[in-house]
């Protein structure tokens, strides 16, 4: 099967990392096209996945864009479609991995009569999207997509609630190479020494730095925890949220936590860093579509404290494979962290159960088989 993958981002976020794993089995027959250059291109090339950058100009729309702002981006969208159309004719199927890719892919599908698959990595609601963008995504998916792959039941439910055709959508969770998260003890100790956290009880937070990801919630909770507890924040601002990064640094200073919070920025060695942690937190203030970090932490054998909303509820069984706390509740988060610190023996069994569950449910080979079956169905029924 020859697939033309479309993605708007040059930066490797969760949707892009998912696409990287999906595209690998088709690397000899398919192409990934990106709307902007960046580190994601490098990751694709390292995996020997053919990649082409369609433009060096970022499409000037975002999730909260209104109708007028959307119309002004037509001058960028039309040349993209013109450039993409002859390329698409060489492939059997168009695979749109993001919302901007859906817009480009839908119109390209119309012009080339190639079936369109939309991989939904978002919870489509007005919390994250303007009404204009929400209506556009649903309309294009209903009209042009042969298949919508939702990354969780939460994403599927939101799609249908927003007006999406329930007959189009199938839930397929993200897949993971479980062996990647088995880190040798000597590597873990070396990393701890490098970070100067060998004698600390370490809380890890792994995501881009953005208000809705809730790093400020963790910092506020940390101030209420015993002083032996420290935190590492892994990630950086991706979409113009640098003011928030400055706010986080100011918050740390105001609370006197300079010696207990480390900002590590964007890193490629996520499994190694997770292995250094005693507990990993997920503190999103809005429902997470899936929560890759949660599964990664479980695969590393680390107990997870996750915000009880969206896809996280599907990943964590409270008290069995992890802990769920009320989103934005600083006191509850601080209490749960402190209990993990005071009773480390109690979280060993939970971490082990989490690893077993994650390795069984999110195995990459099994997930890719599911996607392959769905793609063949979409191609054959179009």
What rounded mean pLDDT belongs to the chain? Answer: 92
Our CA dihedral for 193, 196, 199, 205, rounded to 10 degrees, sits at -100
Indicate if 287 and 336 belong to the same structural domain.
yes
Are 355 and 299 spatial neighbours (Cβ–Cβ below 8 Å)?
Answer: yes
Given this model, what pLDDT does residue 64 score? Answer: 53
Distance of CA 316 to the CA centre of its chain: 16
Q: Which residues contact 345 (CB under 8 A, 6 or more apart)?
A: none
Indicate if 183 and 65 belong to the same structural domain.
no
Indicate if 55 and 124 belong to the same structural domain.
yes
Indicate if 105 and 232 belong to the same structural domain.
no
Indicate if 81 and 105 belong to the same structural domain.
yes
Secondary structure of residue 32 in the 3-state scheme: strand
Are 273 and 204 spatial neighbours (Cβ–Cβ below 8 Å)?
Answer: yes
Are 61 and 67 spatial neighbours (Cβ–Cβ below 8 Å)?
Answer: no
Whole-prediction pTM: 0.90
Q: Which residues contact 90 (CB under 8 A, 6 or more apart)?
A: 2, 4
Q: Which residue has the tokens 């027959």?
A: 29
Top pLDDT among 227 and 268 is at 227
| pLDDT of 72 over the 60 cut | no
| Two structure tokens written together for 227 | 């002083």
Indicate if 338 and 350 belong to the same structural domain.
yes
Indicate if 124 and 237 belong to the same structural domain.
no
Angle at 177 between CA 173 and CA 183, to 5 degrees: 130
* pLDDT band for position 75 (cuts 50, 70, 90): low
Note down the domain range covering 150: 3-175+363-381
Partner residues linked to 203 by β-bridges: 231, 279
| pLDDT of 65 over the 60 cut | no
| pLDDT of 70 over the 50 cut | no
Indicate if 169 and 202 belong to the same structural domain.
no
Q: Which whole number is the average pLDDT over 312-339?
A: 97
The CATH number for 346's domain is 3.40.50.2000
| pLDDT of 60 over the 60 cut | no
Indicate if 318 and 276 belong to the same structural domain.
yes
Indicate if 196 and 76 belong to the same structural domain.
no
Domain count for the chain: 2
Q: Which whole number is the average pLDDT over 66-93?
A: 78
Question: Within 10 Å of residue 321's Cβ, how many Cβ atoms?
Answer: 22
Given this model, what pLDDT does residue 53 score? Answer: 94
Q: Which whole number is the average pLDDT over 361-379?
A: 95
- For helices 330-342 and 215-222, the axis angle rounded to 10 degrees is 60
| Two structure tokens written together for 2 | 């020859």
Alpha helices by DSSP H, listed for the chain, are 14-23, 39-46, 67-72, 74-88, 99-112, 131-144, 153-161, 185-195, 215-222, 242-254, 270-275, 292-299, 312-315, 330-342, 344-361, 364-381
Q: Which whole number is the average pLDDT over 173-187?
A: 95
Given this model, what pLDDT does residue 382 score? Answer: 60
- For helices 131-144 and 99-112, the axis angle rounded to 10 degrees is 40
Given this model, what pLDDT does residue 324 score? Answer: 98
Nearest of 263, 301, 304, 300 to residue 284 by alpha carbon: 304
Structural element, H or E, at residue 55: none
Q: Which residue has the tokens 């020997």?
A: 48
Indicate if 213 and 282 belong to the same structural domain.
yes
Nearest of 201, 191, 112, 125 to residue 160 by alpha carbon: 125
Distance (Å, whole) CA 230 – CA 267: 19
Q: Which whole number is the average pLDDT over 49-53?
A: 96
| Two structure tokens written together for 25 | 């089995």
Question: Within 10 Å of residue 91's Cβ, how many Cβ atoms?
Answer: 18
Given this model, what pLDDT does residue 62 score? Answer: 54
| pLDDT of 103 over the 90 cut | yes
Indicate if 196 and 166 belong to the same structural domain.
no
Structural element, H or E, at residue 363: none
Given this model, what pLDDT does residue 242 score? Answer: 87
Q: For residue range 242-288, what is the model confidence (pLDDT) as tens digits?
A: 899 999 999 999 999 999 999 999 898 999 999 999 999 999 999 99
Alpha helices by DSSP H, listed for 37-116, are 39-46, 67-72, 74-88, 99-112
Q: For residue range 124-153, what is the model confidence (pLDDT) as tens digits?
A: 988 878 888 899 999 999 999 999 999 999
């Amino acid at each position: 099967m020859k697939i033309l993958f479309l993605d708007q981002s040059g930066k490797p976020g969760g949707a892009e990392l998912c696409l990287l794993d999906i595209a690998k089995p088709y690397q000899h027959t398919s192409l990934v096209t990106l709307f902007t250059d960046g580190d994601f291109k490098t990751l694709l090339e390292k995996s020997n996945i053919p990649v082409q950058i369609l433009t060096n100009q970022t499409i000037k729309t975002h999730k909260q864009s209104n109708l007028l702002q959307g119309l002004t981006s037509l001058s960028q969208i039309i040349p993209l479609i013109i450039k993409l159309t002859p390329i698409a004719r060489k492939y059997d199927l168009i695979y749109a991995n993001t919302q901007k890719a859906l817009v480009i892919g839908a119109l390209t599908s119309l012009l080339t009569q190639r079936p369109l698959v939309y991989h939904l990595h978002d919870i489509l609601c007005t919390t994250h999207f303007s009404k204009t963008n929400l209506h556009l995504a649903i309309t294009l998916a209903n009209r042009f997509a042969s298949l919508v792959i939702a990354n969780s039941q939460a994403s599927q439910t939101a799609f249908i609630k927003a007006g999406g055709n329930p007959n189009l959508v199938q839930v397929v969770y993200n897949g993971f190479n479980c062996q990647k998260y088995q880190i040798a003890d000597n590597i873990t100790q070396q990393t701890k020494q490098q970070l100067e956290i060998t004698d600390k009880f370490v809380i890890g937070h792994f995501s881009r730095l953005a208000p809705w990801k809730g790093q400020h919630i963790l910092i506020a909770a940390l101030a209420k925890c015993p002083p032996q507890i420290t935190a590492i924040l892994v990630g950086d601002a991706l979409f113009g949220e640098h003011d928030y990064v400055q706010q986080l640094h100011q918050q740390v200073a105001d609370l006197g936590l300079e010696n207990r919070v480390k900002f590590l920025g964007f890193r490629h060695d996520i499994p190694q860093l997770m292995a250094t942690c005693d507990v990993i937190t997920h503190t999103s203030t809005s429902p997470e579509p899936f929560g890759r970090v949660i599964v990664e932490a479980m695969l590393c054998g680390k107990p997870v404290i996750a915000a009880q909303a969206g896809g996280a509820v599907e990943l964590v069984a409270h008290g069995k494979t992890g802990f769920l706390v009320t989103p934005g509740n600083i006191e509850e988060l601080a209490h749960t962290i402190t209990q993990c610190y005071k009773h480390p023996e109690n979280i060993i069994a939970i971490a082990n159960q989490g690893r077993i569950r994650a390795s069984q449910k999110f195995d990459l080979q099994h997930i890719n088989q599911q996607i392959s079956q769905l793609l063949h169905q979409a191609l054959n029924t179009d």
